[in-house]
Amino acid sequence: MKFLDQAKIHIRSGNGGAGAVSFRREKFIPFGGPDGGDGGKGGDVWIEAADGLNTLIDYRYQQHFKAQTGGHGMGQNRHGADGESVVLRVPTGTQVLEEDKETLLADLDKAGMRVLLARGGNGGFGNAHFKSSVNQAPRHANPGLEGEERTLWLRLKLIADAGLIGLPNAGKSTFLRSVSSAMPKVADYPFTTLHPNLGVVTIGHGERFIMADLPGLIEGAAEGTGLGTRFLGHAERCVALVHLIDITQDSPLEAYRTVRHELEVYGEGLDEKPEMIALNKIDALPAEEAEAKRAAFAGAIGKDVRLVSGVSGAGVRELVNEIAAMLRERRIEETEESEPQDDWTP
Q: Side chain identity at 81, as an amino acid letter?
A: A
What strands lie across the sheet with 149-156, from one edge to the other?
Answer: 64-66, 6-12, 149-156, 94-97, 104-108
Last residue of a domain, one of 156, 190, 209: 156
pLDDT of 176: 85
In a domain? residue 265: yes
CATH number of the domain residue 125 falls in: 2.70.210.12
172 shares a domain with 81: no
304 shares a domain with 216: yes
Domain count of the chain?
2
Domain of 14, in residue numbers: 1-156
Bridge partner list, 153? 8, 97
11 shares a domain with 139: yes
pLDDT of 84: 96
177 shares a domain with 152: no
How many angstroms separate the CA atoms of 33 and 22, rounded? Answer: 9
Q: Side chain identity at 24, as an amino acid letter?
A: R
Tally of CB atoms within 10 A around 28:
4
In a domain? residue 293: yes
In a domain? residue 211: yes
Mean per-residue pLDDT pooled into runs of 10, the chain (346 residues): 80 96 88 92 95 84 95 94 95 91 90 94 95 92 95 87 83 83 55 66 79 71 51 77 88 87 81 87 89 90 89 87 85 67 56
Q: What is the pTM of this model?
A: 0.74
167 shares a domain with 132: no
**What are the distances in angstroms from CA 103 to CA 97, 100, 137, 192, 228?**
5, 7, 50, 33, 20
Q: What are phi and psi of 176, to 5 degrees?
A: -65, -40
pLDDT of 138: 94
pLDDT of 231: 65
177 shares a domain with 145: no
In a domain? residue 344: no
